[in-house]
């Protein structure tokens, strides 16, 4: 077992020990944990990311719900102890199914077991990767002028992310910290929301023409993808830009890359890239480029209004753009730029926007 895994295990067992000592002393077991809401995130001036504030939620066996939560936590800690001891790993989905044999402690839904793993991350200050818990394969990829050395079960392999990969690119592994950046000729990193737009940029040779590393976010990005973007930015000093659709859900994708997500604010310093810049699609682009668009749904409008009260979107830029979108009641996709031809996004839109941002 690696040293960091030993420390992780000790931190997990300390939680169980705390509950045991409470019961031994005749007290009802309870745990305090950071409240995961946007009202409890605050900006850390030093790290420039959004982290949890001082508000706490109580998990207490005084209530039936709290007693079940602590019981399940004890079972999960026991499972993780065994898993780490055997040097094995499991997925979040597998953990949910494993609980089928836990009687009263079984989870009713996977969201419950996922949330409990997040609780343990907050309480131990370790990541789920240290617990040997991984997500389902997310399939996010990288294409660009960078050479990576990767540790695998079969040894070390070196991959150039243009020459040694297929059209889809190099698939980002679960534990990005096992990667070493050997060499690169990149000038910046562009993170793309959709696979269709990723393919358009690759087909048009955008990575070669602009020495760009193209990272496919595949919708809401996995933690491994966000960690890779963070490392590319901080270790290689590469600017990171994010290119998404023009709707509230896509703005939240950008926020998770740049500011950290609300549900994983305890990992913001590890995952978030506060220097990341938003390329578009912006609401003002819908008007400027006369883009094909769809009407906002009631859910879209509700989400946009929520963004206006989200501290991660407190800048004048976001207030102006979101207010404009609520006025025009329209949203648009990245692919809408194809109105002007398949090369327009790589020959006109992105060069113009990247120039405005000072990236190229």
Kindly report, residue by residue over 280-326, the tens digit of the pLDDT.
Answer: 899 999 999 998 889 999 999 999 999 998 888 889 999 999 999 99
CA distance linking residue 304 with residue 322, whole number of Å = 7
Residue range(s) of every CATH 1.10.10.10 domain in the chain = 3-134
Q: Select the more confidently predicted residue: 69 or 267.
A: 69
Per-residue pLDDT tens digits for 82-130: 989 988 778 888 888 888 889 899 999 989 999 999 999 999 989 888 8
Average pLDDT value for residue range 28-45: 83
Single out the catalytic residue among 20, 52, 97, 170.
Answer: 97
Q: Which helix (H) or strand (E) holds 99?
A: none
- Mean residue pLDDT of the chain comes to 90
Strands annotated E in the chain = 30-34, 41-44, 49-52, 56-60, 90-91, 133-134, 141-143, 146-152, 155-160, 170-171, 179-184, 188-192, 212-216, 240-243, 277-280, 294-295, 330-331
Does the annotation count 97 as an active-site position? yes
Per-residue confidence (pLDDT) for residue 242, from 0 to 100: 97
Average pLDDT value for residue range 243-267: 87
CB distance 222 to 139 below 8 Å: no
Considering the domain delimited by 3-134, tell me its CATH architecture: Orthogonal Bundle (1.10)
Q: Which of 153, 344, 358 is nearest to 241 (CA)?
A: 358
Per-residue confidence (pLDDT) for residue 138, from 0 to 100: 57
Is the pLDDT confidence value at 23 over 80?
Answer: yes
pLDDT band at 139 (very low <50, low <70, confident <90, very high): low
Average pLDDT value for residue range 143-172: 87
CATH code for the part of the protein at 141-356: 3.40.1360.10
Could you tell me what percent of the chain has a pLDDT over 70? 98
> Between helices 298-308 and 316-328, what is the axis angle to 10°?
160
Is the pLDDT confidence value at 353 over 80?
Answer: yes
Average pLDDT value for residue range 269-286: 92
Is the pLDDT confidence value at 137 over 60?
Answer: no
pLDDT band at 338 (very low <50, low <70, confident <90, very high): confident
Per-residue confidence (pLDDT) for residue 136, from 0 to 100: 64
Q: Which of 267, 276, 241, 262 is nearest to 307 (CA)?
A: 262
pLDDT band at 211 (very low <50, low <70, confident <90, very high): very high
pLDDT band at 173 (very low <50, low <70, confident <90, very high): confident
Residue range(s) of every CATH 3.40.1360.10 domain in the chain = 141-356
């Amino acid at each position: 077992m690696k040293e960091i895994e030993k420390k992780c295990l000790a931190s997990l067992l300390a939680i169980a020990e705390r509950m045991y000592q409470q019961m031994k002393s005749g007290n009802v077991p309870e745990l305090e944990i950071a409240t995961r809401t946007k009202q409890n995130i605050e900006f850390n001036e030093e790290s420039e990311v959004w982290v949890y504030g001082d508000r706490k939620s109580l998990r207490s066996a005084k209530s039936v719900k709290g007693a079940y939560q602590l019981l399940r936590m004890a079972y999960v800690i026991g499972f993780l102890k065994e898993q780490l001891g055997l040097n094995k790993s499991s997925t979040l989905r597998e953990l949910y199914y494993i609980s089928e044999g836990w009687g009263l402690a079984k989870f009713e839904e996977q969201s419950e077991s996922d949330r409990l793993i997040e609780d343990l991350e907050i309480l131990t200050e370790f990541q789920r990767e240290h617990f040997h818990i991984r997500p389902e394969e997310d399939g996010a990829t990288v294409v660009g002028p960078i050479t990576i050395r990767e540790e695998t079960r079969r040894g070390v392999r070196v991959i150039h992310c243009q020459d040694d990969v297929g059209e889809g690119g190099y698939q980002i592994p679960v534990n990005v910290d096992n990667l070493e950046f050997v060499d690169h000729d990149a000038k910046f990193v562009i993170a793309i929301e959709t696979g269709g737009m990723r393919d358009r940029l690759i087909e048009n040779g955008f990575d070669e023409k602009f020495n760009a590393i193209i990272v496919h976010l595949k919708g809401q990005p996995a933690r491994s993808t966000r960690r890779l973007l963070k490392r590319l930015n901080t270790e290689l000093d590469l600017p990171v830009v994010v290119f998404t659709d023009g709707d509230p859900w896509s703005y939240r994708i950008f926020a998770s890359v740049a500011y950290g997500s609300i549900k994983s604010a305890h990992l913001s310093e590890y995952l978030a890239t506060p220097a990341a810049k938003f390329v578009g699609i912006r609401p003002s682009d819908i008007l400027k480029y006369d883009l094909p668009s769809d009407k906002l749904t009631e859910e879209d409008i509700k989400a946009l209004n929520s963004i206006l009260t989200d501290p991660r979107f407190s800048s004048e830029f976001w207030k102006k753009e979101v207010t404009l979108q609520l006025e025009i009641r329209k949203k648009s996709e990245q692919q809408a730029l194809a109105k002007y031809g398949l090369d327009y996004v790589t020959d006109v839109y992105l060069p113009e926007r990247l120039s405005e941002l000072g990236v190229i």
